[in-house]
Structure 1
Amino acid sequence: MYTDDIFLFHDEVKDDLKFYGISSVRMKIMISLNDGPKKTKQLRKLTGIQPSTIIHGINELVKQKIVLKEEDTYYLSEIGRILVPKYIDMIKSMVILKNSQNLWLKHEIDAIPHHLLMEIGDLSNSQLIESDNTDIFKTHGNFVNMVSQSENIRGVSTVFHPDFVGVFRKIIDKNSEIKVELILTDEVLKKTIMSIHKTNLKDLIRWVSKKNLILWRLNEDAKVGFTVTDNFLSLGLYKKNGTYDSLRDLISEHPDAIAWGNKLFDYYQKKADKIELKRLDKLISILI
């Protein structure tokens, strides 16, 4: 859609935008009704707004046909059921972008597909972990602690960290039922194999043969690094200068964020090639 079209549409609905957005009372009423019909008493309990103020706000929403009334119960009209989820998503998106500005500003976001950027509100219940001079290993230590308590680990890594081989070794050795899926770039895959001592390469082969470890090769330089497990999402981005920002890590244990992370992993999995055992053996023989 062309920008000129949006401008024309804006002029057509600008008064409506002001109406919906200018009043926190109306917004809270609409959000409260999003999950079902409510009476005035219920709305007061949810919003903390006085009944007289609620009634005034509802009357305005009824005039706009956003809210309908049946006896003493209020509910969203069909129009309201379409509009309100969009407002909720906008609020959630604004929260995540405001609370983690240091991750998004001056960082690469093109590695996140457009449809998931449009669902960025799913990360609203996240915390930005930042290392500083008093604790330069804060992000790394927090990540290792969380991933060590996880199962069904899925990750995309475009940077190499020597500690991760030992971390994942401990995780797999501790739980024979664990499943780890890693999508690695060519360079990271090669460095990972070369960092493993010759006597431990048999463990790598054993993990792959038993499906504890599934490796994928990504043939592109994606500017992102993330891990999603059964209980958390960890997301890191590259700076505009092309270096990975190891000092910042967005962490969330919320189901919405975990679901978002799995969608991102699925996106990259479709672009990657699975490394079968024979191919891994051949690669090891070349590198070692």
Structure 2
Amino acid sequence: MRSSIIDTIMLSEKRRDLMLYLSKGSKTREEIVEALEANWNLLKQPVKELKDAGLIFQKDNDYRLSNNGQLMITSLMPLLKMVNTFSSESDYWVTRNLQAVPHHLAKRMGELENSSVLTLSLDSMFEPLKHFLENTAVKRRLKIVISLFDPEAPRILKDFAEKNIEILLIFEKHTYEKMNESFGDELKSLNDYENVNFFMIEEEINPPEIVLGDEEMTIIFFNLNGKYDYRELLSSDNASLDWGNELFDYYKGISKPLVEK
């Protein structure tokens, strides 16, 4: 019976979407049709199957989850969100190297379900940081993990530092060494600002490149070969931003300050 109930929820997108929608509270037939963007004739069978399984109740024109249905959907919510995340951009996620994502956050990648994948155009694919910052509004703070050699980064970020934007900048170790060798003076000048703080990850990991603004985020997860393939994940919803901030804080926790202030 237990596996049958789980199958009822998981093996049908319509049943799954209906239960997720009803988890927000009792809904009328008209509200369900509008929210799921489906003709009621296509929803009759999923509704019947959920009623037969004791997962939803109907009273007149209102539908709601049963107590069992509410418990099931609450327990399955993280898994359902994970399914939504990976199924919506399956060709992208199946080729991502996620080894640098800590286990406690990897289990919650369903929180990225509302993110979208962008393939950068030819004129911006080699400057992903510049592309993001030119297309988002930053008023208070920037949190950045740099894992790609970026000659433009010191100049671009200096413009934000001069606007009194707080900048927390974490470097992947080998990326910092290469950039410091080529642009040491520019990096030192940037780090001299009181509102700029540099950190370097001490562990031998290849973290994704992250740019967190006030209301938007981009993450570059490298492919299975550890390479940048000009695709990035864009997010602006609260759940994704919270996840991204926790990932940034994790990397900051395994980093050392490059200059004490």
Normalised to the residue count of structure 1, the TM-score between the two structures is 0.74
Look up the SS of the partner of 2:192 in the other structure. Answer: helix
Aligned with 1:195 (options 164, 174, 182) = 182
Look up the SS of the partner of 1:266 in the other structure. Answer: helix
Q: Does 1:251 align with 2:234?
A: yes
Q: Does 1:236 align with 2:217?
A: no
Aligned to 1:206: 192
Q: Hey, what's the Cα distance between the residues in 1 that align with 2:249 and 2:174?
A: 21
Q: Does 1:13 align with 2:10?
A: no
Contact 2:191 2:197 (8 Å CA) reproduced = no
Q: Tell me the CA shift for residue 264 of structure 1.
A: 0.6
* Structure 1 unpaired stretches of 5+: 1-11, 279-288
* Structure 2 unpaired stretches of 5+: none
Aligned to 1:227: 211
Q: Hey, what's the Cα distance between the residues in 1 that align with 2:159 and 2:228?
A: 26
Contact 1:93 1:124 (8 Å CA) reproduced = yes
Letter in 2 for 1:264: L
- Higher mean alpha-carbon deviation, 84-93 vs 142-151, is at 84-93
The count of corresponding residues between Structure 1 and Structure 2 is: 257
Q: Tell me the CA shift for residue 111 of structure 1.
A: 0.5
Q: Does 1:34 align with 2:23?
A: yes
Look up the SS of the partner of 2:99 in the other structure. Answer: coil
Contact 1:66 1:76 (8 Å CA) reproduced = yes
Alignment of 1:90-239 (within 5 A): 90-131=79-120, 135-141=121-127, 143-148=129-134, 149-150=137-138, 151-173=140-162, 175-176=163-164, 178-196=165-183, 198=185, 203-207=189-193, 210=194, 212-224=195-207, 225-239=209-223
Alpha carbons of structure 1 residues 76 and 186: separation in structure 2 relative to 1, 3 Å: same
- Higher mean alpha-carbon deviation, 161-170 vs 146-155, is at 146-155
Q: Select the structure that is richer in helix.
A: 1
Letter in 2 for 1:37: S
Q: Tell me the CA shift for residue 91 of structure 1.
A: 4.8
**% same residue:** 19
Q: Hey, what's the Cα distance between the residues in 2 that align with 1:140 and 1:254?
A: 26
Look up the SS of the partner of 2:154 in the other structure. Answer: helix
Cα-to-partner distance string for 1:195-251 (whole Å, 9 max, x where unaligned): 3464x56633531xx2x111122111222222222122222233444x431522222
Look up the SS of the partner of 1:65 in the other structure. Answer: coil
Alpha carbons of structure 1 residues 250 and 140: separation in structure 2 relative to 1, 3 Å: farther
Look up the SS of the partner of 1:277 in the other structure. Answer: coil
Q: Tell me the CA shift for residue 83 of structure 1.
A: 2.3
Alpha carbons of structure 1 residues 146 and 158: separation in structure 2 relative to 1, 3 Å: closer
Alignment of 1:6-85 (within 5 A): 13-48=2-37, 57-69=46-58, 73-85=62-74
Alpha carbons of structure 1 residues 240 and 29: separation in structure 2 relative to 1, 3 Å: closer
Q: Hey, what's the Cα distance between the residues in 2 that align with 1:220 and 1:103?
A: 27
Alpha carbons of structure 1 residues 94 and 61: separation in structure 2 relative to 1, 3 Å: closer
Radius of gyration: which is bigger? 1
